[in-house]
Amino acid sequence: GEDVEQSLFLSVREGDSSVINCTYTDSSSTYLYWYKQEPGAGLQLLTYIFSNMDMKQDQRLTVLLNKKDKHLSLRIADTQTGDSAIYFCAERPLKTSYDKVIFGPGTSLSVIP
Amino acid sequence: DGGITQSPKYLFRKEGQNVTLSCEQNLNHDAMYWYRQDPGQGLRLIYYSQIVNDFQKGDIAEGYSVSREKKESFPLTVTSAQKNPTAFYLCASSNLGETQYFGPGTRLLVL
């Protein structure tokens, strides 16, 4: 079946790096996404990676994709208190009748000053 | 300013009442979606629409209804048949085959 898994909580000290991990099940997935949700707000697209890539870097964000293990990670360098939020991993399977996106449960990142 | 708006930000429902959540987008996207978010869970798809005057049930459509009379609008009605409506509701839109973008959400509470 289709499923995306993430750990629910992560706590880091300000200035350290954060690594949020995600596993997915559908090997046909074309795109994998990271969204950020601040309290009481909608989801903001942070970054995405196409399935034929291994890595994508965008300023403080680094996405690593291990297709063999179906594992995706998001690294935030020099984590700041403003990075405290819920981070959702999501996959888009190839073989669906519509633009289906499957979301993980979200990882709540707490940054300790 | 291009984007997706949802209203109201907070909505209160009494027992037996139907309520309607608004979602409007000016991104000229063809597809629109409604998700429900509960604490500790991922987003679950309620309904989606890929084109005007057409929509399909998602994974948890029971107790909800939608319409898509205009490209920019996709209102969601939470009916009295939905026995556990308290949740955060998120609307999204996209062009077909492209990334989904989200509105700010509506929190629905039951009185």
Q: What is the pLDDT of residues B53-110, one digit of tens each?
A: 999 999 999 999 999 999 999 999 999 999 899 999 999 999 887 889 999 999 999 8
Q: Which residue has the higher pLDDT, B41 or A66?
A: A66
Please tell me the number of Cα atoms within 13 Å of A101 on its side-chain side: 28
Chain A: residues touching B (Cβ < 8 Å): 4, 8, 31, 33, 35, 40-45, 48, 88, 98-106
In angstroms, the CA B109 to CA B27 distance is 29
pLDDT category at B1 given cuts 50, 70, 90 is low
| pLDDT mean over A46-54 | 91
Q: What is the count of residue pairs from A and B with beta carbons less than 8 Å apart?
A: 48
* Surface of B (33-52) touching A: CB under 8 A: 40-43, 45, 48, 50
Residue A37: which of A89, A93, A102 has the closest Cα?
A: A89
Taking the Cβ of residue B8 and every Cβ of chain A, the question of whether any pair is shorter than 8 Å is answered with no
pLDDT tens across B8-39, in order? Answer: 999 999 888 999 999 999 999 999 999 999 98
